Amino acid sequence: MPGERTTSVHGREEPRAGPLVTPIHQTSTFVLASAQEVDDVYEGRRQGDVYTRYSNPSTTSVESRLAALEGTQDAVVSGSGMAAIATGVLAFVGAGGRIVSTSDLYGGTINLFRTLESRFGIRIDHVSPTDVDALRAALRTKADLVYLETPTNPTLRLVDLAQSAQIARAAGAVTLVDSTFASPVNSRPHALGIDLVMHSATKYLGGHSDISAGAVCGSREHVARVRGLHKLMGAVLDPHAAFLLERGLRTLPLRVKAANDNAQAVAEHLARHPAVKRVHYPGLPSHPQHALAKRQMPGGYGGLLSFDLASFDDAKRFLDGLRVVRNAASLGGVESLCSLPLQQSHRNQPKEVLDRAGIVPGTVRLALGIEDAADLVADVDQALKGL
């Protein structure tokens, strides 16, 4: 198999004459040559596009490249990460079904699960992301889906993917992991036995803070189920956004490795700073799951970290004191961003949710970009002096 840089540039394409870069097929519908061709395309006797909600050459191209990067048979892209989560979950869980989920989740996922519980009677049981025995116990009762997130948002706890996949498969449950923070450069969950890998492609995959997109990768059989619901719900990715996403994938390994290096440098500096109570980053030997991170994330530990200051007021003062790092939600772009979970990703979440995730009032989330590490360390240092 080619290396990840080669794969990110070329995907699974064979050499061919024509445009070097996939054109933007900015069209909502496609002209077919005959009535027979309509039947042939719809019934699968030949490849073809009919309507962009179903497929479009721009989205098909980026799906193929993403599947190659994740090491899966297929992928489907959507208009946002939340669309990918919703279609990925609902493709396998119906009304009255059951999900076993890790307790530390992105705030949008928490809100989605609450809606599924209240409107559709879907039972959702939570287990600690670090406790595979709790997962095993939870799956003694039948479940349709095991939903995982690793590293978790924002305190960077890890789920043991290989063990979780083995336990879920023995119980007859499909596994879906949100691997947004890791990216395919740092971790390949499908190779560890996970059925479906989800990304908010808005983040590292796009990489330039200029699109909203999502993706679900897996076997042809599993992705076909997600794609079928995706078509019905209409959560499609615009062809121009698909073009930008594919552009981002071409440089993914280079950007992620730069972000990994920057996060490691900033995390090590924060760990030595007297104003910082605790640093959450799996690349530090002090992280309780550092050994698992070394096994499960061979490409690197990610460009995101969080740390705890003494109070919410200190966290706000730190945020306001930054000059290079920008005050914004999201992550995975070339720019470094800072946000406070209590203001952004976990705003208005109840105390028990915050406690489960290890979020305290002084928690700060840093998403490191590709700037010079020395400039980022200096910016963080001067902002801390303002406390």
Q: Cite the active site residues.
A: 53, 106, 178, 203
Among 387, 232, 368, 246, smallest CA distance to 303 is for: 368
- Residues 326, 338 contacting (CB under 8 angstroms): yes
Distance of CA 9 to the CA centre of its chain: 20
Among 235, 237, 214, 200, smallest CA distance to 25 is for: 237
- Residues 350, 288 contacting (CB under 8 angstroms): no
- Residues 347, 317 contacting (CB under 8 angstroms): no
* Structure token pair of residue 167: 């336990």
Dihedral of the alpha carbons of 136, 139, 140, 141, in degrees to the nearest 10: 160
Using DSSP bridges, classify how beta strands 304-308 and 326-327 pair: parallel, antiparallel or unpaired: unpaired
Give counts: helices (H), strands (E), the chain: 15, 12
- Residues 144, 98 contacting (CB under 8 angstroms): yes
- Cα atoms in the Cβ-side hemisphere of radius 13 Å centred on 86: 20
- Residues 149, 105 contacting (CB under 8 angstroms): yes
- Residues 217, 75 contacting (CB under 8 angstroms): yes
Give the separation between CA 233 and CA 223, rounded to whole angstroms: 15
Give the separation between CA 1 and CA 3, rounded to whole angstroms: 7
